[in-house]
Amino acid sequence: HTVALKEDGTVWTWGRNDYGQLGDGTYTNRSTPYQVQGLNGVVSVAAGADFTLALKEDGTVWAWGRNNYGQLGDGTTITRTTPNQVPGLNGVVAIAAGNSHALALKSDGTVWAWGYNTDGQLGDGTTNTRYVPVQVTNLDSVVAISAGYNHNLALKSDGTVWAWGNNGSGRLGDGT
């Protein structure tokens, strides 16, 4: 599926909708863009595998679609066909979506993650799936984030890049 953000802060989606990832309240595929209702003031969007994230200008994160690994961050595994706010997550300035996990960068430079964690991609020192956001440990002063399939990257204010999660094909860049 595809998600687009217009200059007016509205979110538009189209494509496959098997898990409600288009946010239109249905499971119907769409070949033309659809405006996600009730979602305005959005400054950033991200598409994972069968789920979608939106960051509003008030620093809240909204999620919808597939939730089998808690990738919507609402404490459940219930699929959502319309946007729902990720509870307890405020002051967010950036979001990223991986395959079945998500990241949020807060204004204080901390990174929060939730969802699938088989490769340690949530950065909490475990491989436990998390259904609500948890803070990435030993990481602060972050200014930018990026999520891969099952790995992540963070840029710190000192210019260093930090990576964690699946290191297949050397994607963490540590020489191993």
Query: For 43-66, what is each residue's pLDDT tens digit?
Result: 999 999 999 999 999 999 999 999
How far is the C-alpha of 126 from the C-alpha of 105, rounded, in Å? 20
Q: What percent of the chain has pLDDT over 70?
A: 100
- What is the reported pTM? 0.96
How far is the C-alpha of 23 from the C-alpha of 36, rounded, in Å? 6
**Dihedral Cα 53, 55, 60, 65, nearest 10 deg:** -10
User: What are the tens digits of pLDDT across the range 139-157?
Assistant: 999 999 999 999 999 999 9
Q: What percent of the chain has pLDDT over 90?
A: 100
DSSP secondary structure string, 82-128? EEEE-TT--SEEEEEE-SSEEEEEETTS-EEEEE--TTSTT-SSS--
How far is the C-alpha of 173 from the C-alpha of 84, rounded, in Å? 35
The pLDDT assigned to 67 comes to: 98
